[in-house]
Structure 1
Amino acid sequence: MKKLLISCIILLTIIPEARAQDDGAAVAVVGGLLAIGAGIAAVEAMKEQAELTATQWVLGNHPEMTSFSLKTLDFDGKKLKDMSNVSVITYKIQEFTPADKPELDGKKQVLFMFTSRGWINEYGIDFSKVRWHLIDGEEWMNMMISYTVVASGESNLSEVRETLEEGKIVNRGVKVNSKMAIPFYKLNGDMYVVTDYSDFMKLLYNERSLGLFIKETGDLVQIGRGNIIEIHEFFYGEG
């Protein structure tokens, strides 16, 4: 909503000058800024609805979690039309001990909200077309080991784990101390390498993203490299 407020301030600032120059131009400016403000408000409202629904899912399915922070990674800087094409929304969750000005110092988890075609309509989010999947740091590590193996051909699982624990996933592989420890294959954009990870999903590698094939729905979703890096940093790079 902060962005919407800024847009309104800009609107109020420039309308008088625009009217002095040309009434038609003023109308166009007002209409354009109102459209921008409406778009920002719509995305912000959708973000709040998605975070509220994710919180409700956690409360309904994990009653043992009694104090936690939940934040989505995916709405910042997005336009409404961009969100209609999103196939996975990712939430960072961390527990904490209740206190005045508490610190986030508890267990970390990531919640994936997988979406199917038509999940956004004129009424907002259709949560009947949503699947949830909650993982902790160990499960993320197992996923990244499988992903790294399929992306690089490296077969020593213990070395892959050690490298991932010490290093950082980047666009071209896994780096440790700024040196490329495990380089990933260079593939064309329409090439994929697949591994059958679990009963829930298959993992796919190409140069642009981590692909997750959700077996229940038959949907192929993609997690961009930026989100992979941020999730890994959340589990293994933050204090």
Structure 2
Amino acid sequence: MKKTILILFASLYLIPQNSNAQNEGAAVIAGVLAIGAGIGAVEQIKEQAELTATQWILSNHPELSSFSLQTLDFNGKKLKDMSAVSVMTFKIQEFTPSDKPELDGKKQVLFGFTSAGWISKYGINFEKVNWHLVDNAEWLNMMVSYVKVSSSEKNTSEIKSTLKEGRVVNKGVKVKNKLVIPFFKLTGDMYFVTDYSSNMKLVYNERSLGIFLKDTQDLVQISRSGIIDIHHFFFMKDNLFKKI
């Protein structure tokens, strides 16, 4: 928003003071203000989503008495793209209450799967968001199933070992810079499906992890960068959270 204000003042200063220039200047200012409004709207949506995620945790997981909740993947979205967001993710970590506590407890990721119409001209309808909380063990199981359906590797223990050391990229699972488990090459309209649980199916399509929610019949997609961020959060040595 600060950048927007600076651009506005720069525009006012640089525009010559004549009739045509003033009309052009008005158009520039209107455009700048529209950008500012868009940025503000997106930030408001993010804040509301994070607050709602926190309220969901407080209502459904009373065992979490000291925790930090931050947005993991809700960045880089323009206002016109927000209605197309199919999943929001939030990183959660517990800590021991103390003065200036360290985030040293259990890590979890909260998924907010959105349905069509969750954002409209009337605002945000969080009743169209389906919440799902996973820990590192559940995430690893999901990734094992995903790798099995995405590649020719079927050995569970081998996949788990590779996933703990590496990361999922577009072409498969890499450990350091070596592609250890290559994924099948597919065209954009091909899908491999595995029935993961009573709640969801996992769908492999080139460049994304698809999750089909059985209750709502929605197919949502997590980008490859989103998978990397979640995996990194669970299995990296350093902590993505800053000190409280």
Q: Quick check: TM above 0.5?
A: yes
Residue equivalent to 2:29: 30
Q: Distance in 2 between matches of 1:53 and 1:205?
A: 30
Instruction: Identify the residue that residue 189 of structure 1 maps to in structure 2.
Output: 188
Q: Note the alpha carbon deviations across 1:141-176, whole angstroms, 9 max, x for none.
A: 000000000000211111111111111211111112
Residue identity matched to 1:134: L
Per-residue deviation at 1:76?
1.8
One-letter amino acid of the structure 2 residue matched with residue 8 of structure 1: I
Q: Is the 8 A contact 1:46 1:124 kept in 2?
A: no
Task: Measure the CA separation in 1 of the matches of 2:149 and 2:129.
Answer: 27
1:17 is matched with which residue?
14
State the distance in 1 between where 2:7 and 2:96 align. Answer: 42
Residue in 1 that maps onto 2:215: 216
Q: CA deviation at 1:116?
A: 0.8
Alpha-carbon distance, 1:56 to partner = 0.3
Code of the residue aligned with 1:72 in structure 2: it is T
| Count of residue correspondences | 236
Identity of aligned residues (%): 64
CA contact (8 A) 1:19 1:25 kept: no
**Structure 2: tracts of 5 or more residues without a match:** 239-244
CA RMSD of aligned residues (A): 1.3
Matches within 5 A, 1:168-207: 168-207=167-206
C-alpha separation in 1, matches of 2:65 and 2:122: 31
- In structure 2, give the amino acid aligned to 1:233: H
**What TM-score comes out, normalization by structure 2 length?**
0.93
CA contact (8 A) 1:110 1:134 kept: yes
1:99 is aligned to: 98
Bigger relative contact order (CA 8 A; separation at least 6)? 2
Match of 1:5 in 2: 2
User: Does the 8 A contact of 1:91 with 1:111 survive in 2?
Assistant: yes
- Aligned counterpart, 1:50: 49
Q: Distance in 1 between matches of 2:139 and 2:16?
A: 56
Matches within 5 A, 1:66-85: 66-85=65-84
- Report if aligned partners of 1:169, 1:229 keep a CA contact under 8 Å in 2: yes
In the TM superposition, residue 75 of structure 1 has moved relative to its aligned partner by 2.7
TM-score (normalizing by structure 1):
0.95
1:165 alignment partner in structure 2: 164
CA shift at 1:101, angstroms? Answer: 3.1
Deviation at 1:99, TM superposition (A): 3.2
Deviations 1:3-40 (A, max 9, x none): x1321132123213225361111101110000000000
- For residues 195 and 206 of structure 2, the distance between their equivalents in structure 1, rounded to whole angstroms, comes to 19
Question: Counterpart of 1:231?
Answer: 230
- Show structure 1 runs of 5+ residues with no match: none
Instruction: Look up the match of 2:241.
Output: none
Alpha-carbon contact 1:11-1:30 (below 8 Å) kept: yes
Of 28-37 and 65-74, the range deviating more from structure 2: 65-74
Is structure 2 residue 113 aligned with structure 1 residue 109? no
Structure 2 residue matching 1:53: 3-state secondary structure: helix
Deviation at 1:64, TM superposition (A): 1.4
**Could you tell me how far 1:110 is from its partner in structure 2?**
0.5
After alignment, is 106-115 or 37-46 more displaced? 106-115
**Deviant stretches of 4+, over 6 Å:** none
Residues 19 and 75 of structure 1: is their aligned pair in 2 closer, same or farther, counting only changes over 3 Å? farther
For residues 87-124 of structure 1, the C-alpha deviation after alignment (integer angstroms, 9 at most, x for no partner) is: 11111111122333332221110001111110101132
- Structure 1 residues 99 and 18, CA, compared in 2 at 3 Å: closer, same or farther? farther
